[in-house]
Chains A and B, each alone.
Chain A
Amino acid sequence: MIYVIWAIIFVLGIWIISTYNTLTALRLRVQNGWRQIDVQLKRRYDLIPNLVETVKGYMQHEQDTLQKVIEARSQAMAAKGVKETAEAQTALTQSVGKIFALMENYPDLKASKNVLDLQEELTTTENQIAFSRQYYNDLVTQYNTKQQVFPSNMLAGFFRFQPSEFFSVPDAEKAVPRVNLTLAR
């Protein structure tokens, strides 16, 4: 009889250890995922001044748009806190998108190899940011699920694992940006 009790305690101990380890590993992966997003954002910050310099010569009449992009970039780099950062990031994405839309009016600009390369670089950077955010959200889903399903939720509460926040786009930015495509002559 005593052996049965020891066996139960043993199995319970193994379960506790393995669940704790899984929760810890997931939490660390979530943190890593968040840092990965920062890496991609930094890449974009570095690429944007290149883009502005390259198109400045061609797009003489769009100086104010280009100026807005530089401002948006500085704002994004200076932003603190999740909400402010997210808003600044989205504003930056939109202003870069405006430049790409305006490039349609300048055929010799579009034919330039440098600009095409830069466009590809920025496109892939935007995609990489989006995918690392997506992956971060997938990780957060896994981590939060593990904390809330039945057997592990008791342990999660006991060891004080906190649910993580999803990365979400604040509602204001979901409005489609209106791009002014009129030629300034």
Chain B
Amino acid sequence: MLFFFIIGGAIDYLYFDAFSPAGPPLPLATIFSLGVATFTTLSAYYGGSGLILGSLGAEKPDGQIPEHRELRNIVTEMALASGSTMPQVYVIYDPAPNALATGTNEKNAAICVTTGLLTLLDREETQGVVAHEMSHIRNEDILLMTMVSVLIGGIAILADLGQRGFYSSRAGRRLGSKSPLLFLPLLLLIAFSPLIARLLAMAVSRQREYLADATAAQYTRNPIGLARALEKIRDAATPFHKATRGTAHLFFANPLRRRLENSDGNLANLLIRRSIGASSCSIGWRVFPLRSRN
């Protein structure tokens, strides 16, 4: 939210002559962006998981398919092991193996698994993955991640608005009269705000992933299951098309794996590829502590 405030202040200063005697009496853009921030935060809190699940095409598991029944049983087992209430279970029909947890607290949490993962992993490994997601729920990461998801979207919209204003000629006259010292940094801030927001999300996500792995091993008492699951997922390497950059950090494995040759030179893509494999951590770094517990 602080970020929103800064961006709003930057836009105000540059475009609306705020903070100077000639401009409007109230810093309009700052208030506007604070309003947007509050609105997105509240809507993220109350409706965030619905938004995310809807955008990914998640559906209820089909009672007829044995693998879906098995998934439901595994989630029940993990809810017992962690001592929490049973979360809602959803399935995404996609061949890429992946899983995510979302919601705001334990009572309205949801776990979502792709059919690719159900086919690829056996019962023990699926149990490890589901335990990992349950530990996100127990450690209250899901609230953090859902809010970050929606806020990133909001920042991207604001930054877009800020950048569009740059091109109109009336703005050009206004910009010319501003103090040159602040001009460039603020403009860069507006331009790079989506990137910065995403980097912040990735850094937070990495720490929480390690914590979730450790808690999952505590629940299943079987770290090898999770380690094997991670290795299988790494080798599967199918990109997951339904995830966007805004939701990438929620996932168990980075859904946007791109090869370096295919990147279009976008700085954000390069940074993402270098720093994350599984929504911010490389899978090798996650497998090693799990396997070395014995």
Instruction: Verify that A and B bind, or say they do not.
Output: yes
Closest residue to A29 on the B side, CB-wise? Answer: B83
A62 on interface, CB distance cutoff 8 Å = no
Task: From the candidates B73, B81, B82, B221, name the one contacting A124 in the complex (CB within 8 A).
Answer: B73
With A120-B73, A134-B221 as given contacts, are A128 and B66 in contact (CB-CB < 8 Å)?
Answer: no
A45-87 contacts to B, CB under 8 A, are none
Give Cα distance in the complex from A142 to B21, angstroms. 64
A128 touches B77 (CB 8 A): yes
Give Cα distance in the complex from A121 to B72, angstroms. 11
Closest residue to A36 on the B side, CB-wise? Answer: B80
With A134-B81, A134-B221, A135-B81 as given contacts, are A124 and B66 in contact (CB-CB < 8 Å)?
Answer: no
Interface of B is mostly: helix
Q: Identify 15 residue pairs between A and B in the complex whose beta-carbon atoms are under 8 Å apart, listed by A's number.
A: A36-B80, A116-B66, A117-B66, A124-B70, A124-B77, A127-B73, A127-B77, A128-B76, A131-B78, A134-B221, A135-B80, A135-B81, A135-B82, A138-B83, A139-B83
B73 to chain A, nearest CB (A): 4
B40 to chain A, nearest CB (A): 37
Closest residue to A124 on the B side, CB-wise? Answer: B73
Contact partners of B83 in chain A: CB under 8 A: 33, 135, 138-139
List the 6 closest A-B pairs by CB distance, nearest first. A124-B73, A131-B81, A131-B80, A127-B77, A132-B80, A135-B83
Contact partners of A117 in chain B: CB under 8 A: 66, 69
Q: Which residues of A contact B (CB under 8 A)?
A: 33, 36, 40, 116-117, 120-121, 123-124, 127-128, 131-132, 134-135, 138-139
Interface of A is mostly: helix
B87 to chain A, nearest CB (A): 15
Contact partners of A127 in chain B: CB under 8 A: 73, 77
Give Cα distance in the complex from A152 to B219, angstroms. 27
- The 8 A CB mask of B60-76 against A (1 = contact, 0 = none) is 00000010011001101
Contact partners of A134 in chain B: CB under 8 A: 81, 221
Give Cα distance in the complex from A135 to B82, angstroms. 7
Give Cα distance in the complex from A104 to B30, angstroms. 71
Inter-chain pairs besides A120-B69, A124-B70, 17 sampled, C-beta below 8 Å:
A33-B83, A36-B80, A117-B66, A117-B69, A121-B73, A124-B76, A127-B77, A128-B77, A128-B80, A131-B77, A131-B78, A131-B80, A131-B219, A135-B81, A135-B82, A138-B83, A139-B83
B241 to chain A, nearest CB (A): 31
